[in-house]
Amino acid sequence: MEGKLELTREESKKLFEVIRQIEKKQEASDFLKPVDFKGLGLDDYPLIIKNPMDLSTVKKKLKSGKYATVSECTADLTLIWNNCRTYNQIGSTIVNQADILEAVMRKQCELNGILLDLPQKRQREETKPEPVKEILTLDSKIEFAEKVKKVSHEVLAELVRIVETDCKNALEELDNDRIQIKVDSLDKITFDKLLGLVTVVDEPKPTKKHKKNN
């Protein structure tokens, strides 16, 4: 009778190291635990994501010997990033974070001698290229902050509406029903849209020139 196929101690050690390096990244905070779709009000999440996965679940399965091969574990890690891209808009902050963490995973697998299914990865990239995140400059963020101070409540409401639609995780609810826009969490496209709106509002209106009576 053949014995159950199990990971070796060395394979498990390498996989734990890959996960540890991913968890160290600041982008990993939203991927450490299962998505609290009820708390976040994401009622459609279980309808779209049929097989949820997160880093804590991968670690639990690894510790309890649920993986028979290394590829089963790396497949679950890859599932985390693919789920994120399936549910969220391409180019959004959280998808950019998933792309960064997947790159970390691939780098760590390479360093630890873990082979990944590279041909499948290349095929996915050909059909759906990963977006390159543009960095917001300090000057542009300062300019935006100064212009926002001068706009009306109606314009502020429009800014919030745009962020909620295009880049929802850049909104943070504060006390007293206040909402804060986290500029550093905005993607470049959404930021440019907001900056354009407050710039138009902030432009001085031309003054009428009075004719001089002779």
Tell me the pLDDT tens digit for each residue of 100-142.
Answer: 999 999 999 999 999 886 444 434 444 444 444 556 777 777 8
Both 81 and 28 in a single domain?
yes
**In angstroms, rounded to a whole number, what is the distance separating the alpha carbons of residues 96 and 38?**
23
CA 28 to chain centre: 9
| Residue 25: partners with Cβ closer than 8 Å, 6 or more residues away | 100, 101, 104
Which pLDDT score is estimated for 26? 94
Both 20 and 120 in a single domain?
yes
Both 44 and 92 in a single domain?
yes
Question: The domain spanning residue 36 has which CATH number?
Answer: 1.20.920.10
Tell me the pLDDT tens digit for each residue of 57-68.
Answer: 999 999 999 999
Domain that holds residue 192: 138-202
What's the token pair of residue 39? 């708390």
Which pLDDT score is estimated for 1? 40
Sign of CA dihedral 141, 145, 146, 147: positive
**In angstroms, rounded to a whole number, what is the distance separating the alpha carbons of residues 74 and 63?**
14
Which pLDDT score is estimated for 191? 82
CB-CB contact of 185 with 166 (8 Å) = no
- Report pTM: 0.55
Tell me the pLDDT tens digit for each residue of 35-87.
Answer: 999 998 999 999 999 999 999 999 999 999 999 999 999 999 999 999 999 99
